[in-house]
Structure 1
């Protein structure tokens, strides 16, 4: 790798010092003991991953992350690399990718590797890099204009999950806030939960988006016990805007949520920050230092 792909000692120390200072803030005082495998959803670093995936992943590993969740798989490639190449890169850096994000393909029919286009190949490639979970990451606005759309997706998820199951992979769905907005007196999230086979389709709960939609993650765990093996961990600013924030600097009580991990059935969690006001590498360093202290 060239020098541009490396995180300098000065930069790493600066990130560590910044994260340590934030960890001292009162809002982070609930944290106290280290989890074993902290993960990162790579969408947080999407610009850097597009320019230099090798160097960016090296910096992620140097911060301390042990797991990553890829996105953007297309036509047999992960960030432009074959499964064999991507797997080798992860292994070289001491990283694992237990989960990955995919799209339905309804709005991008030419994209190969979605739920509706070349899904079997996507599953095969996910297995090749040792993924244990495949997640439908998002439903575009034009895909979800009425309740019947969600009923259709429940059927598609069951079908897609059958293919995953044959490869020893668990299918999941990742939420935002719109699933908790009523349509004709019903919550779309309930349609997806009730319309899918609980043994085939599970969920990746985005703790920020659920909270943003005024849902209590712990109550969701109780309502659907064991169906949340994956979490996205991101914080919410203590402002009227309720913008994204590094973990431990906002308003979400993560300790309370992690205390309910058995009810949820959680096996992996990934730091994510859709939009960062600080440079993304600084944001994920702060999140790492704070989530590292959670009682897990």
Structure 2
């Protein structure tokens, strides 16, 4: 299992200097990054920067609307970047209903074979709201149960799973074989600014990592939605998670 970082963690830096931020991420020790947009740059320049820094851009979060409407362009961008895992990061608030999730499932099922043929693996990243029942069923379970496990992966965000009152270890174990990516995030505490650096808080990290390895997860991805200091968080997360996967 390899430690990586979701660049959303350092979005304040990438917005101003994507290429310089990638250099700094490589200096910290990361060898893999997951994209969340391109900051103030574009795919060709980013590929040159990550190659120079010795970093692989193995995954990317891309909005469902782009998967729907700009799929060929997205595929071209992923090829430039060397991305393997193409992840839908969430549903916007106005789509978090039965019709919205049905459309998500339809799109995942439509695009997953096309992604495979392009050398990509399509997946979905959970938040807490996938564990709020709609018509008596968790949207997460609806997604998992109505997509092909061989073609649609589940990127389990353990912080959001825990925030939703669920057991991240059990969720990982339940979906063994289709969880190549795990987001290492601490649980949000309502009313508290910031989050602890990933791997330093009260989540059962040793059990999460063990379950991930047993489930076939290849990447443990540091993410902090609300870092008080994004680069210090990236540094601390790398140290914490590297110790956990050793």
Summarize the Cα distance change of 1:291–1:233 in structure 2 as closer, same or farther, 3 Å threshold: same
- CA deviations on 1:115-152 (whole Å, 9 max, x unpaired) are 122111211220222111000011111011x2232122
Unaligned runs of 5+ in 1: 1-34, 73-77, 106-113
Higher helix share: 2
Q: Secondary structure at the match of 2:68?
A: coil
CA distance in 2, matches of 1:50, 1:238: 26
- CA deviations on 1:221-264 (whole Å, 9 max, x unpaired) are 23222111011112237888596220233111111111112442
Deviation at 1:269, TM superposition (A): 2.1
Deviation at 1:215, TM superposition (A): 1.4
Across the two proteins, how many residue pairs are aligned to each other? Answer: 246
Contact 1:234–1:273 under 8 Å retained in 2? yes
Summarize the Cα distance change of 1:263–1:160 in structure 2 as closer, same or farther, 3 Å threshold: same
- Among 106, 124, 143, the residue aligned to 1:192: 143
Summarize the Cα distance change of 1:139–1:87 in structure 2 as closer, same or farther, 3 Å threshold: same
CA distance in 1, matches of 2:18, 2:41: 10
- CA deviations on 1:163-212 (whole Å, 9 max, x unpaired) are 21111110010010000011221111111011111111111111100111
1:288 alignment partner in structure 2: 238
CA distance in 1, matches of 2:226, 2:194: 8
2:120 alignment partner in structure 1: 169
- Among 59, 62, 87, the residue aligned to 2:24: 59
Summarize the Cα distance change of 1:242–1:195 in structure 2 as closer, same or farther, 3 Å threshold: farther
Contact 2:156–2:172 under 8 Å retained in 1? no
Does structure 1 residue 86 correspond to structure 2 residue 46?
A: yes
Per the normalisation by structure 1, the TM-score is 0.78
2:12 alignment partner in structure 1: 47
Deviation at 1:160, TM superposition (A): 1.7
1:211 alignment partner in structure 2: 162
Summarize the Cα distance change of 1:149–1:237 in structure 2 as closer, same or farther, 3 Å threshold: closer
Q: How does 1:1-296 map to 2 (within 5 A)?
A: 37-72=2-37, 78-105=38-65, 114-144=66-96, 146-236=97-187, 241=192, 244-277=195-228, 279-296=229-246
Larger radius of gyration: 1
Deviation at 1:155, TM superposition (A): 1.0
RMSD over aligned Cα atoms = 1.9
Unaligned runs of 5+ in 2: none
Contact 1:221–1:227 under 8 Å retained in 2? no
Per the normalisation by structure 2, the TM-score is 0.93
Summarize the Cα distance change of 1:212–1:237 in structure 2 as closer, same or farther, 3 Å threshold: closer
Summarize the Cα distance change of 1:286–1:166 in structure 2 as closer, same or farther, 3 Å threshold: same
